Amino acid sequence: MQAPLQQQGLATEARVERWLIAHGLVAIDRNVRCRFGEIDLVMRDQDHWVFVEVRERRSSRFGGAVASVDWRKQQRLIRTAQFYMQRRFGHHDWPACRFDVVAVEQGRPHWIRAAFGLR
């Protein structure tokens, strides 16, 4: 059984996934987990594979949903995405990838394309 916050998080991810599909992305995978972390949504946007972090906050105190994807979280997402791509494509050429954040505040999604990346 899932806690109420987990249920709410999964429901928000499902709404965001439908919203991104309506905006032209193609769903590939959901809640990808490995030892490095978890990626909420894996989608395709034309030739790019998109790793989407969904964050919901009721208030913008403490920087809101976007600020919660700090450097540490970004590094976990990057390592998880690398693991995922290695598992999916092996050592062959990987398609172009990007990391998007969809911040949901007061029920409204704010989509930040290419929010961060490899440096």
DSSP annotation of 118 reads -
Q: What is the pLDDT of residue 61?
A: 62
Q: What is the pLDDT of residue 63?
A: 64
Residue positions counted in the chain? 119
Q: What is the pLDDT of residue 32?
A: 95
- pLDDT tens, the chain, 119 aa long: 678 777 888 889 999 999 999 999 999 999 999 999 999 999 999 999 999 999 987 656 666 677 778 899 999 999 999 999 999 999 878 999 999 999 998 888 999 999 998 65
Query: Residue 70: what are its φ and ψ, rounded to 5°?
Result: -80, 180
The CATH class, in words, for 4-116 is: alpha beta
CA separation for the pair 97, 70 (Å, rounded):
19
The domain ranges of the chain are 4-116
